């Protein structure tokens, strides 16, 4: 699929705006979780924000390198595991 530079730029701007909102939500949930460890609703908020960012960041154009995508998602995977461990303790 070949997309014009304008379409790709619009997608990038949209993703950036949505990701920023989700990062604010993630930050809020993590701060709340620090004050209330073990609150499963907060852990679910963390997971939901992470998964949404991860899913929204999937490339819609074939020019994106799979290896760069994997590297960019790796820290989110670590954060997911940390959140899961918090829920289990």
pLDDT tens digits for the chain (89 residues)?
567 888 888 888 888 899 899 999 999 999 998 899 888 899 899 889 988 888 887 765 444 444 444 445 555 566 666 665 655 55
Q: Distance between CA 54 and CA 88 in Å, rounded?
A: 23
HEC states along 64-77? CCHHHHHHHHHHHH
Query: Nearest to residue 21, comparing CAs of 44, 58, 53, 46?
Result: 53
Q: Can you give the pLDDT at residue 25? A: 94
At 35 the pLDDT is: 92
User: According to the model, what pLDDT value does residue 3 have?
Assistant: 72
| pLDDT attached to residue 21 | 93
Could you tell me if 27 and 53 are in contact, meaning their C-beta atoms sit under 8 angstroms apart?
no
Question: What does the domain layout of the chain look like in residue ranges?
Answer: 5-88
pLDDT at position 75 is: 55
Instruction: Note the pTM of the prediction, 2 decimals.
Output: 0.62
CATH no., domain 5-88? 1.20.120.160
CA-to-CA distance for 34 and 43, rounded, in angstroms? Answer: 10
């Amino acid at each position: 699929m070949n997309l014009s530079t304008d379409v790709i730029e619009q997608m990038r701007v949209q993703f950036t705006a949505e990701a920023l909102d989700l990062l604010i939500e993630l930050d809020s949930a993590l701060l709340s979780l620090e004050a209330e460890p073990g609150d499963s609703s907060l852990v679910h908020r963390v997971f939901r924000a992470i998964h949404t960012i991860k899913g929204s960041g999937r490339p819609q154009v074939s020019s994106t390198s799979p290896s760069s995508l994997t590297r960019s998602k790796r820290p989110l995977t670590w954060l997911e595991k940390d959140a899961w461990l918090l829920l289990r303790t």
